[in-house]
Amino acid sequence: MRYTPPSHLWEGARGLGLRVATEGNISMTKQIIERAADAPHQTILARTRTTELAAHVGERVRMQGWLHARRRLGALTFLILRDGWGTAQIVAQSEAELAPLTEAQAGVESVITVEGIAVASEQAPGGVELHEARIEVITPIQEAPPVTLSKREVKASLTTLLDHAVVANRHPTRRALLRLGAGVMAGFRATLMARGFTEIQTPKIVASATEGGANVFPVDYFDRTAYLAQSPQFYKQIMVGVYERVFEVGPVFRAEPHDTTRHLNEYVSLDAEQGFITDHFDVMATLRETIAGIIETLREGYAPELALLDVKLPSVPAEIPHIHIADAQELIFQRYGADVRGKPDLSPQDERWLGEWALAEHGSDFLYVTGYPTHHRAFYTYPDPVRPEFTNSFDLLFRGLELVSGGQRLHRYEDYLAALERRGLPLEPFAWYFDAFKYGMPPHGGFAIGLERLLTQLTGAPTIKLATLFPRDINRLAP
C-alpha cells in the first residue's frame, strides 16, 4: 500500500502571518483547514520595521513591537512603538484608536500590532509618524516594569538595573551599548578571517588551572574535580601547530573574589594567536589591524547605537606608537617626577600619564608598552634575546588604560623545561600541553582582548557590569 502524506500544506501568504491550506488528506490537514476557516480571508500587510518607516510615507503599514511610551498632549495622544531595531511615533486623535489598549489594560511594554498611514512630519522623530492607527494588543503586561524604560536616561540604581536586567536591558541606551558588543565580535572575526586566521572553539572544562594561581572555579566532573578555563591560552598555542593562525571568541572564568567596577568573574575573551612571527612586533601589527577593523565595523554598521550613546570612536594611527617599559618609567620620572623606575609593572596612574603623553606627543589614543619584566609575565612568555630580564611582551593602552595584553611565547620544548625549572613549577599537570612543543612549533605569539573592558572604555560606562548582558560577580549569579 502506498501512503501519501500531506505536503506543502501551507502556501501563499507565508511570512505575512496568514497561510492557506491547499491539499492534504489526514488529521493534520483537517486541523489546518479549520484554522484557515477561522481566519478572515483578508490581505495581511507585510510587517514594516520602525527603521524602515521613512521609506513608506503615504502608505498603509503594519508594525509590531512594544508600547514604549504614551503621552497625552491636548487632544492628541502620542505613542512610541519600539521594535527590535528602533522606535516610531504614532499619533492618535481619538479615544477610539486607543480603546484596544484600554480594554486590555495594556500599559507600556505591552506587545502590540499597529496598522496606520505613514505621514511625513517635521516634528516627529525621524521625520515620519503613523496616523489613523488600528491597534491590536498581542501580549498585555502583567505589571508595570520595575525600571522606567521610556526616559532618555536610565533612572535606577546599579543594583536595580542588574537585578532586573531581564527587562532593564530593553532600555534604548542599555540595548545600544550591549549591541555594540555584537559589532566588536563581528569586526574582530572579519579582520582576522581576512588575514587567514581560522576560528576555533576550545574546551572550557579543563583538568588543571591554565595560568596557575588560585583564581579558578572547581567543577564537579563526574567523580573528579575539574576547573573552568581561565583562558584558551594553551589550546590556542597548540592550534598554531595546526592552522598557524587561530582566533576564538568565548567565555573565560576567573574566580577573583572582587566586587569592583573593573572585574567580572565570567567574561568574553577575544583571543588570537599566530605562528611564524619574528617577534612581538608582528603580533602588535596584527592587533593594530584588528583594533582598526573593530572600530571600522562599529563606524559602518552601528551608527545609531554610537549616536544614541554619544560615543566618539577613536582613530587608530597607521602605526601605534610604542615604548619599552623601562623607557616609559624613565619618561614618567623625567616628565612627571615620580620615580617608578625598575618597578615590575605600571600603576593605573602610570598608565594615565603615558596615555596623556601619547596623545600630546603622538596624537594617539593608543600606546603600546613593551618589554614587561620576565618575573612579572607568565612562564610561557618569550624573553628579550638581548636583555632576558625583560620579555617580548606588550600591553596596549587605550586612553591611558590597559586594554589588551599579548606577546611572543616560547616555542622550543627545552625552553619550557628551563622556564618551569626556573620557577619551580611542575611539568605534570600540563604534560599534554608541553608535549606539543616536542613536535615542532614555530615562533608564535598572540593577544587577548576583553570584550566587556573594550566596551566599557569605548562607551565610558561607569562599571564593566553594564557592559555585559547578565554579569557574574562574587555576589551575583542571577539573572
Would residue 405 show up in a list of annotated catalytic residues for this protein? yes
Would residue 254 show up in a list of annotated catalytic residues for this protein? yes
CB of 123 to its own copies, least distance (A): 27
Would residue 453 show up in a list of annotated catalytic residues for this protein? yes
Would residue 256 show up in a list of annotated catalytic residues for this protein? yes
Q: Are strands 198-199 and 10-11 parallel, antiparallel or unpaired?
A: unpaired
Of 119 and 461, CB closest to its own copies: 461
CB of 189 to its own copies, least distance (A): 8
Of 121 and 126, CB closest to its own copies: 126
Which entry of 262, 335, 352, 476 is annotated as an active-site residue? 262
Would residue 262 show up in a list of annotated catalytic residues for this protein? yes
Which entry of 305, 402, 409, 411 is annotated as an active-site residue? 402
CB of 176 to its own copies, least distance (A): 11
Of 43 and 142, CB closest to its own copies: 142
CB of 433 to its own copies, least distance (A): 7
CB of 234 to its own copies, least distance (A): 9
Of 58 and 385, CB closest to its own copies: 385
Would residue 263 show up in a list of annotated catalytic residues for this protein? yes
Which entry of 256, 289, 296, 356 is annotated as an active-site residue? 256
Which entry of 82, 189, 254, 280 is annotated as an active-site residue? 254
Would residue 377 show up in a list of annotated catalytic residues for this protein? no
CB of 91 to its own copies, least distance (A): 22
Question: Which residues are tagged catalytic?
Answer: 254, 256, 262-263, 402, 405, 453
